Amino acid sequence: MAKALSARLNNLTDDSEVRRLAAASLVNLFDSLYEGAVTIDCAGRITWMNDKYKALIGWNGVESIEGRLIDQVLPNSRLRAVAETGQAELLDVFVVGSRQVVVSRIPLRNEENELIGALGVILYDRLQALRPIVSKFQQMQSELASARQQLAETRRPKYHLSDFVGDSEPARRVRDDAQRAAPRDGAVLLLGETGTGKELLAHAIHAASLRATGPLVSLNAAAIPESLLEAELFGVEPGAYTGAANKARPGKFQLANGGTLFLDEVGDMPLALQPKLLRVLQEGEVEPIGGTRVLPLDVRVIAATSCDLKAMVDAGQFRADLFYRLNVLPIRLPPLRERLEDLPALCAVLLAKVVEGRGASALTVSAEALRRLAGHRWPGNVRELHNVLEQAAARTESHHIDVEHLIGLPNTDGQKVGAGGTVRTLRGAVAAAEKLEIQRALTTTGGVKLQAAKLLGISRAQLYEKLALYGLLSAKTDS
């Protein structure tokens, strides 16, 4: 007894004997543990198959399976490739008959490390255990696919030139200018008051340009804190500063490569960043923060501002060289009060949008209501018109918008009209006064938000909150 035990222990110190025993044990283990196991030689002939595998493929046991070619017994088997390349395939899904099974394929080598065949095992019963992981994986895959889809959507233009509504002379001039600018590759500068359609036009120009199939990436210089703007624009290299991620983060310029970068509210671009922006535009290459790499770029810039950029240049608030670089193809968007003849067409299109969002039937505007609308100064332009119509649509019980539904529309003097004898809540009255004062401040400063905030005695962030609240900020907040 003692002798036999010591002989076995001795054997365990012998390298090749350990391997032989391990191999034999493993084969037994495969046989008992796995749903199926099969080995082939280098010629692709089956040298052994366990009974479970035979049962799975319906081998009736009449003839011997050993010696047959694996491809004839298991069509599409990859075992032969593993025996030829020596590359294991540790996890794969394989179809046996009508079943999907999880398999591993492992090359077999002799003592001289030469390939002598391959072992295939079915981890079928393990598939049940893997099910939670597999379904989680599938869910993550589908989430990833839809996130990618959404991201691609955000980089596609939302508007086309025909979406810029209006048949007036000024509106037609805008469309003509945009049509002419689109195929040229120079920088476009969109100038116009808030709500005149600068963002709409930026999308439309990209869509009509030769870059239409490339990405359209937007950056609002006023909505991003100054400290983050540089990284947003130019990107960050891994470990650029303490706390920076280990992975490189591409900037908007890089994301827009091959397409268009829409630089919104460019008048709010901090003076300190302007030289770097100018350099990128001039050199056609970008250097991410903390990097030693310089990345070549192919990006067209469309910039927009509601500021009087030229006056800012004269006042030393905007770099002249950057202004000229951006001002290659300037397009001025007229305020709504300069094209009041477009009101009926705009109302029709905007009301159709309102109705579409609610799934209600079409709405029309009475002649008198149109006259009332035409009497307003429209400091918030088309966006304000959209908001006014949306509120009126909520008030009317018919398919018609009349003067009495335009309650709360400030007239030319900033006074409320049509309120009749109704008393507004104090909160409503305060909000209306606040909105009006903000609009006045923005008019006074020519749209420069930082100065407007100063005049109003609030921070820039507070001003942005209120602009969003009153639908004066961007298309996103009012649609």
Ligand X SMILES: Nc1ncnc2c1ncn2[C@@H]1O[C@H](COP(=O)(O)OP(=O)(O)OP(=O)(O)O)[C@@H](O)[C@H]1O
Residues in touch with ligand X (CB under 6 A): 163-166, 192, 194-200, 306, 346, 349, 382-383, 386, 474-475, 478-479
The helix-helix angle for 460-469 and 426-444 (nearest 10°) equals: 120
Neighbours of 318 (CB within 10 A): 23
Closest distance of CB 198 from ligand X, Å: 3
**C-alpha 355, offset from chain centre:** 27
Size, binding site for Mg ion by CB under 5 A: 3
Residue with tokens 């008393």: 423
Token pair 């067409």 is found at 345
- Contact between 181 and 329 under an 8 Å Cβ cutoff? The reply is yes
Residue given tokens 């709409």 in the structure block: 200
Tokens encoding 372 = 């009332």
Q: In whole angstroms, how close is the CB of 200 to ligand X at the nearest point? A: 4
Residue closer to ligand X by CB (options 120, 197) is 197
Which option in Mg ion, ligand X, none does residue 26 bind, with CB closer than 5 to 8 A by kind?
none
Which of Mg ion, ligand X, none has residue 195 at its interface (CB below 5 to 8 Å by kind)?
Answer: ligand X
Binding part of the chain for Mg ion, among 27-35, 191-199, 237-245, 436-444 by CB under 5 A, reads 191-199
- Pick one of ligand X, Mg ion, none as the site partner of residue 74 (Cβ within 5 to 8 A by kind): none
Q: Cβ distance 263 to 273 under 8 Å?
A: no
Q: Checking DSSP bridges between strand 99-109 and strand 89-96, what pairing results, if any?
A: antiparallel
The reply on whether position 199 binds Mg ion by CB under 5 A is yes
Q: Which residues contact 473 (CB under 8 A, 6 or more apart)?
A: 223, 464, 467
Structure tokens at 125: 């019963």
Interface with Mg ion by CB under 5 A: which range of 50-58, 163-171, 180-188, 193-201?
193-201
CB 409 → ligand X: shortest distance, Å? Answer: 17
Q: Give whichever of 223 and 289 is closer to ligand X, judged by the CB atom.
A: 223
What are 187's two structure tokens?
Answer: 């920088």
| Nearest to ligand X of 46, 266 (CB atom) | 266
Q: How far is the CB of 89 from ligand X (least distance, A)?
A: 54
Closest distance between ligand X and the C-beta of residue 456, in Å? Answer: 17
Supply the minimum distance, in Å, between the C-beta of residue 451 and ligand X. 16
Binding mask 456-475 for Mg ion (x = CB under 5 A): ------------------x-
Cβ proximity to ligand X, 117 vs 447, nearer residue: 447
CB 396 within 8 Å of CB 363:
yes
- Pairwise CA distance, residues 48 & 239, whole Å: 55
Which is closer to ligand X, CB of 96 or CB of 382?
A: 382
Q: Is the CB of 146 or the CB of 479 nearer to Mg ion?
A: 479
* Minimum distance, C-beta of residue 412 to ligand X, in the bound complex (Å): 21
**Chain Cα centroid distance, residue 232:** 15
194 binds, among ligand X, Mg ion, none (CB under 5 to 8 A by kind): ligand X
d(CA 238, CA 251): 13
For residues 108 and 116, is the Cβ–Cβ distance under 8 A? yes
CB of 167 to ligand X, least distance (A): 11
Q: Does 384 interact with Mg ion (rule: CB under 5 A)?
A: no
Structure tokens at 109: 């080598």
3-state DSSP of 311-338: HHHHCCCCCHHHHHHHCCEEEECCCHHH
Q: With respect to ligand X, which residue has the nearer C-beta, 115 or 340? A: 340
Sole residue written with tokens 């579409």: 356
Q: If you ran DSSP here, which 8-state letter would residue 259 be given? A: S
Query: Where do contacts with Mg ion occur on this chain (CB under 5 A)?
Result: 198-199, 474
